[in-house]
Copies of this chain bind each other. A is one copy, B any other.
Amino acid sequence: MVKEPKKVDTASGPKDKLVKLGEHVTDQIEKGEQPTIELSVRGLSNVVYDKKTEKLGIGDKTSERAFFNVAHAKKFLQTIEVAAISKSLLDINKHASLRDVFYMAKRTIPGSKTNVVDEQTESDKAIEDLELITEFTREQLNINANKMGSVAGKVIVEDSGDTIDWSKLGSGGWSIPSNVENILFKKIDAKYIIYMEKAAVWERLHEDKFWQKQNCIIMCSQGQSTRGVRRLLQRLANEHKLPIYVLTDNDPWGIYIYSVLKYGSISLAHMSDELAISDVRYLGVTCDDVLKYKLERHYIKLTEQDIARLKQMAEYDWFKDHKEWQKQFKAMKTAGAKVEIQSLSSRGITFISDVYLPEKIKNQEFID
């Protein structure tokens, strides 16, 4: 069973939630009870795919973490320590990276030779705990993930006191921050968003003024999408009902990038409500495109790893009954080969902007 969607509790922001957590623990101590936190189990055993919402989510298994349990004591401490760090960041209105939080938490427990954390994975896990406990994202707890990616289009936003016009930023575009929670969308004049995995392809479309001609937004990360990019896409999809078309290489990695955007990821299943975007559709490059646009001569042989990845993905709950994706997986396996987006450049440098994308979008050739 999937956990109920979280109740909207407008009266309590991230800071209130952290204070409540602290009060919960001190209350227990004052009553002479053992300090205990209850939280949902993370990890594969409690990750479920919800067919209705088309998102990965966290199941209803919970576990208790008790301070006087030798197996729990350190994790308990780490969670409380990171909660205190997050609270102090919110107090002074500053943001820290995951790595910063690790160093801030890495102090020796007084009267001992033990550090609160020794590895970043420990503070990272504690941050995920806090996401579950508070039901806020780490970004809302003032902890940022990686910064990556660029965006352009006829959009005006307000951010940190500045008014920024995404259509007037030269060849570079706006550099997407790691944390997009406080961005205000002032004006949006676009019919859809094209999100691509490669910055070089973004530069191609940008130079061709694709966003201007097609009235859309172009956005990229580099490789797997950062959380900042995913949240920005989700906010544009939710708040402005913009469809999102994903453009990746025709390979297992490209399809996985799409999968994470649309359905969420296993490691962040507890954050799918904030990160997964049901309105995302896969534009290409599909196995059919390879034939239609005569890209077979640019086939690159699948590696062992590619083949294993393909098999694994074909068995995902959200792909296993999906006819179109099964067709794609089969076609790629039969060809034994993958194809890159940039192979379209063999048809001419602006072929992607002048022919491929307009045709695909006009004919609504997406995989949903």
Contacts and interface: CB of A to CB of B under 8 A. Distances in A.
A171 B172 CA distance: 16
Q: Classify the interface of chain A: helix, strand, loop or mixed.
A: mixed
Contact of A172 (B94, B174, B344): B174
B175 A97 contact: no
Contacts of A169: 162, 164, 169, 174-175
Contact of A175 (B162, B174, B208): B174
Contacts of A176: 172, 175
A207 B172 contact: no
A202 B144 CA distance: 12
Given A89-B349, A148-B222, A159-B170, A342 B175 contact: no
A61 interface: no
A150 interface: yes
B174 A204 contact: no
Nearest to A100: B345
A178 B203 contact: yes
Question: Which residue, A150, A171, A298, has most C-beta atoms of chain B within 10 A?
Answer: A171
Contacts of A163: 168
Interface of A: 89, 92, 94-97, 99-100, 102-104, 106-107, 144, 146-150, 157-164, 168-179, 183, 199-200, 202-204, 207-208, 222, 297-298, 340, 342-346, 349-350
